[in-house]
Amino acid sequence: MNLHGFVLLSSLLFCMGIYAVLARRNLIGMLIGVELMLNAASLSFMAFNRFTAPDPVIGQVVVLFVIGLAAAEAAIALSIILAVYRSRRSIDVEDVTELVG
Amino acid sequence: MDTATLTFVSTFAPLAAFALGLVVFRRQPTLAAGVALLGALTSLVGTLLLYQRGPIPTPLLTRFVSTESVELSFGFVLDGPNLLMGVLVAAIAFLIQVYSLGYMASDPGKARYFSLLAFFTWSMLSFVYAANLLQMFVFWELVGLASFLLIGFWYEKPSAVAAAKKAFVMTRIGDVGLFVGIVVLLQTTQTLDISRIVAPNTIASIPPDRLTLIGLLLFCGVVGKSAQFPLHTWLPDAMEGPTPVSALLHSATMVAAGVFLFAKFQPLLVASTDVTTVVLAVAVFTAVLASTIAMVSRDIKKVLAYSSISQLGFMLVGLAAGSLYAGLFHLTTHAFFKALLFLCAGSYIHHVGSNDMVAIGRAGARSMRITTLGLIVGGSALAGIPPLAGFFSKETILARLADHGPPALLAGAYLAAFLTAYYTFRMMFLVTRPNPNGKLQPEHTTAGHGHGHDDAAHGTDAPWVMLVPILILVVPSLAAGLFGDTIGARLGFSVDAHPPVVEMLPAVGVTLFGVVLAWFEYGRTGASQLGFVNKLPALHRLFVHKWYLDDLYARSFGLLVNAVSRVAHLFDTRGIDGFTDGIGRQTIAYGHVTAAAQAGRLQLYVGTAVLLMTAFCLFLASA
């Protein structure tokens, strides 16, 4: 395994995440897409850290930080989704258009 | 109390009454009226005490502004004319406020009415005692404001509002001239102190051209205020106000202000022969013009209004012919009998509910004994029947004019005196000797009487509170002429010597001819009630239409002003409004365009963000 393989894999994951966020109508699906993008980013951090950085710790610190953020983000996003579901019995993103200009 | 304090108290008591009445007692009209009466009484007592102390030659001054070239001192002057005028203003204002207690008893705006009367009294008294031309001008304008407010007192009537506006605008035209005159005067003499301006050496130091210019400009203000031709048209319309207001406006305040200003600057104004000629011509012409309109009018208040204009012309003739005494003597006697006549007219109108003299006569005005007595005394005094008040003062003026004026003007003045006697007795005969077979039928003009009318509440005459002022005013109208010389000498006027009886005869003759003619046409049993002008239809039409002056002004100046204001309005709505509105409209339109992007579609936003981010990354990579 070399750096190219990891970067390719993480780009693939990132693009899948973007696609999920853009294409899914379901809020849970979009949340999964966001998580995929975060993990793709974490993966590329680890890869670059492993193959290029002289200090082995810094990449791992950033990744741990991202995982922590992702957990918090998931908790908040899920609670928003629950609140949306309670108020309108649907988690379709097309239904939530109150903030139209 | 020292003199300065006394002057201050008697001047400012009505102002205090005005403030109290309008601010504190707005909801208690009776209290407001009481306070106003108290203020007027204080002024009356104060001015009488000042009169008792006699004229003081040096003015009481406080420095107001002082620069290198100009020094402005405000204060009071207590010379002869001022003391006389002060007593006159305070006395008439007090009597009219008493009368108003009856006339305006049930008016909803009573508190406002009495407060405004007090304000009027304050402005006029301050104007009279002013020591400085600028100070005089301030109160001159306040007098104008007070009459504007009182003429338009019944502001729910469109005609009253129009009349108030007309009075304000017409007098303002004259005031522009007056103000320019003040500026030129200040530039020429470096002072606005009245006693210094009219000092002989100051007048001698002004170049003749300048003197004429200043004189004519000051006369502009007098023309506006004292309703002389060509600015006289506001005064008859001012009848829209309550009748006691007309009485005040026509006797001691407002129109008297113009004559009084002339009297104060008389040495300056008669120093130029050009100014004297113009003033004499305008005044005599006005006296004749107003008399001709009065003799065909049927509205009792209109007759009195035109007679005021005509008598103001007489006063100016006296002053311009060089006699301060003659002008102010006539001003004083006229104030008494004209106030009396207006109060009588108000009493009839209050009782009958119509302004039409024929209707008043038919409604049995004769049975109102005391009012009719007032009308007869006041009318005779106005006509100049010897030995009533008007006779002496008019005689003095005519004698003065005979000595100093051209014969054509003297003839005009005699014509005006004849017409005065004629229209006055026409009015008296129409009211007191109604003739059901006459040619004149009563027409029910809407009375200038805005308040509710309860016929059942009236007795055979007006209430006593209205009759007492009438009775009090009868006394000076009868006798004031006899005391003219005594009072004049006490106040330090140079009293004119009375002309010999032979010279009085033509004036008495034309007066009696006017009375006899009026008796023949209107008074005798079976009179035709057609005036001699009816035989000349063209002339009659001219007089009835007030010499077409109102129409002329409406056609010429009215159209011009309307055209200019229409252009200005167009520029305002299209130009200025259009520009600012356009900016607003464009902003809103642009807002609508950008608002379309705010569709609430989350994925559209994210997609845009991704695209931009990608573009940015590609840009960075290529750089």
Q: Looking at residue A25, which CATH number applies to its domain?
A: 1.10.287.3510
pLDDT score at B451: 44
> Does the ipTM exceed 0.85?
no
State how many domains chain A has: 1
- The verdict on residue B97 lying in a domain is no
Q: Which of B519, B536, B568 is the last residue of a domain?
A: B519
Residues B254 and B235: beta-carbon distance below 8 Å: no
Residues B497 and B375 in one domain: yes
The set of long-range contacts for A58-65, using a CB threshold of 8 Å and a minimum separation of 24, is: none
Query: pLDDT tens digits for B149-159?
Result: 999 888 888 88
Residue by residue, what is the 3-state secondary structure of B515-561? HHHHHHHHHCCCCCCCCHHHHCHHHHHHHHCHHHHHHHHHHHHHHHH
The answer to whether A93 faces chain B, any CB pair under 8 Å, is yes
Residues B496 and B618 in one domain: no
Q: How many residues does this entry show for chain A?
A: 101
Query: pLDDT tens digits for B33-50?
Result: 888 888 999 999 998 888
Residues B562 and B413 in one domain: no
- The verdict on residue A62 lying in a domain is yes
Residue A34 to residue A25: CA distance in whole angstroms: 14
pLDDT score at B443: 67
Our CA-based measurement puts residue A97 at a distance from the nearest CA of chain B, in whole angstroms, of 4
State how many domains chain B has: 2
Tell if the CB–CB gap between B600 and A93 is shorter than 8 Å. no
Residue B73 vs residue A3, higher pLDDT: A3
Residues B283 and B313: beta-carbon distance below 8 Å: yes
- Name the residue range of residue B387's domain: 278-439+491-519
For chain B, list residues with pLDDT below 70: 438-439, 442-460, 496-497, 499
Nearest residue of B to residue A26 by CA position? B603
The answer to whether B589 faces chain A, any CB pair under 8 Å, is no
pLDDT score at B207: 87
- The verdict on residue A35 lying in a domain is yes
Our CA-based measurement puts residue A33 at a distance from the nearest CA of chain B, in whole angstroms, of 12
| Banded model confidence at residue A100, pLDDT cuts 50, 70, 90 | low
Among residues B511, B268, B498, B284, the alpha carbon closest in space to that of B403 is found at B498
Residues B406 and B286 in one domain: yes
Our CA-based measurement puts residue B24 at a distance from the nearest CA of chain A, in whole angstroms, of 55
Our CA-based measurement puts residue A56 at a distance from the nearest CA of chain B, in whole angstroms, of 27
Give chain B's mean pLDDT.
Answer: 85
**SS3 for B86?**
helix
**Nearest CB to A100; choose among B594, B600, B607:** B600
Residues B514 and B563 in one domain: no
Where would I find the H helices in B152-198?
A: 158-189, 194-197
**Nearest CB to B606; choose among A21, A96, A98:** A21
Instruction: Tell me the pTM.
Output: 0.77
- The verdict on residue A100 lying in a domain is no
- The verdict on residue B231 lying in a domain is no
Which chain B residues are closer than 8 Å to A101 by Cβ? 594-600
- Name the residue range of residue A10's domain: 3-95
- The verdict on residue B434 lying in a domain is yes
Structure tokens at B427: 């009015």
Tell if the CB–CB gap between B607 and A22 is shorter than 8 Å. yes
- The verdict on residue A101 lying in a domain is no
Tell if the CB–CB gap between B594 and A99 is shorter than 8 Å. no
Residues B351 and B433 in one domain: yes
Residue B166 to residue B272: CA distance in whole angstroms: 32
- The verdict on residue B114 lying in a domain is no
